Amino acid sequence: MTQTNYSALTTTPNLVVANWKMHGNFKQNAALLGDYIEKLSSLKRTQVVVCAPYPYLAQLQNKLQSSNIAWGAQNVAKNEFGAFTGEVSAAMLRDFGCTYVIIGHSERATAYCESDDNIACKFVQAQKHGLTPILCVGETLLEREAGVMELVVGKQLDAIINLHDAAVFATAVISYEPIWAIGTGLAATPEQAKSMHLFIRNKIASLNIDAAHQLKILYGGSVNPQNALQLCAVENIDGGLIGKCSLNAEEFSAICHAAEASAV
């Protein structure tokens, strides 16, 4: 496939998403959000999003509604409404002011048997209700060692493309999260990330050039203040999905400011 340089076409602002996972409580969240607001208010070219556990969405709405920080959830139901005990619909997330939702995170795919079909249904539910889906893709260490990482990520993208159309990526975010890099302290190298991000952009571009231009592609997996600047400077990396370091306002702020510095 022709290698095209899309860096000039990627729209700013950059995007940095905090994935709090199953951490936090009212008191800690209040302090963390207060620090976020203070440290991130000067950002001009970087949109920050906080994705918290469901019970704290009202707290996010309350704290962040007059700030420059958006918020969202870490999962959504694949159905619109009905007898689905324990599920939370996209419309319910909108009721709490969410504008983003993480979909298909590998921690859910492995622990809760999230299938590609489920993920594709969740993706469409999110968009139907005006939420921007943040679709997580990525390979295991075994798959990388076997050299099949592009096949794996390509198949994860095909699950959405085949059910819908590549045009849906115009209003979506893809987060490349190599599973071996999540929570391990071992981030992908800039070269590894560059190659996969280009693969993703090119795959979408081969189907829908406008969607490829508008799509944001984040990198996630052991991003920290030390590697953020280098990763954010990589062509086709439009920001990050941050786990552990998002629980520390100093570290998260340093990552957001690194994204800001690279967003020209």
Shortest distance (Å) from residue 26 CB to ligand 13P: 22
Among positions 175-214, residues that touch ligand 13P (CB under 6 A) are 177, 182-183
Task: Please give the size of the binding site for ligand 13P, defined by CB under 6 A.
Answer: 14
Asked if 251 touches ligand 13P (CB under 6 A), the answer is no
Q: Are 232 and 211 in contact (CB under 8 A)?
A: no
- The backbone torsions φ and ψ at residue 234, rounded to the nearest 5 degrees and listed phi first, read -70, 135
Residue with tokens 């995007």: 15
- The backbone torsions φ and ψ at residue 200, rounded to the nearest 5 degrees and listed phi first, read -65, -50
Asked if 47 touches ligand 13P (CB under 6 A), the answer is no
Instruction: Closer to ligand 13P by CB, 6 or 21: give it.
Output: 21
Structure tokens at 144: 């990388």
CA pair distance 73, 103, nearest whole angstrom: 9
Instruction: Closer to ligand 13P by CB, 10 or 75: give it.
Output: 75
Q: Are 70 and 49 in contact (CB under 8 A)?
A: yes
Among positions 79-118, residues that touch ligand 13P (CB under 6 A) are 105
Shortest distance (Å) from residue 200 CB to ligand 13P: 16
Given CA atoms 182, 187, 192, 195 in this order, what sign does their dihedral have? positive
- The backbone torsions φ and ψ at residue 170, rounded to the nearest 5 degrees and listed phi first, read -60, -30
Asked if 226 touches ligand 13P (CB under 6 A), the answer is no
Q: Tell which one of 244, 252, 255, 263 touches ligand 13P (CB under 6 A).
A: 244
Asked if 121 touches ligand 13P (CB under 6 A), the answer is no
Shortest distance (Å) from residue 230 CB to ligand 13P: 15
Instruction: Closer to ligand 13P by CB, 135 or 166: give it.
Output: 135
Burial of 114 (0-12, 13-18, 19+ CB in 10 A): buried
Shortest distance (Å) from residue 228 CB to ligand 13P: 11
Asked if 129 touches ligand 13P (CB under 6 A), the answer is no
Q: Tell which one of 60, 220, 236, 256 touches ligand 13P (CB under 6 A).
A: 220
Listing DSSP states for 173-188 in one string gives EEEE--GGGTTTS-PP
Asked if 227 touches ligand 13P (CB under 6 A), the answer is no
Instruction: Closer to ligand 13P by CB, 239 or 243: give it.
Output: 243
Burial of 230 (0-12, 13-18, 19+ CB in 10 A): middle
Instruction: Closer to ligand 13P by CB, 49 or 90: give it.
Output: 49
Contacts of 62 (CB under 8 A, 6+ apart): none
Shortest distance (Å) from residue 96 CB to ligand 13P: 20
CA pair distance 4, 51, nearest whole angstrom: 32
**Residues classed as catalytic:** 105, 177
Interface residues toward ligand 13P, by CB under 6 A: 19, 105, 177, 182-183, 220-223, 241-245
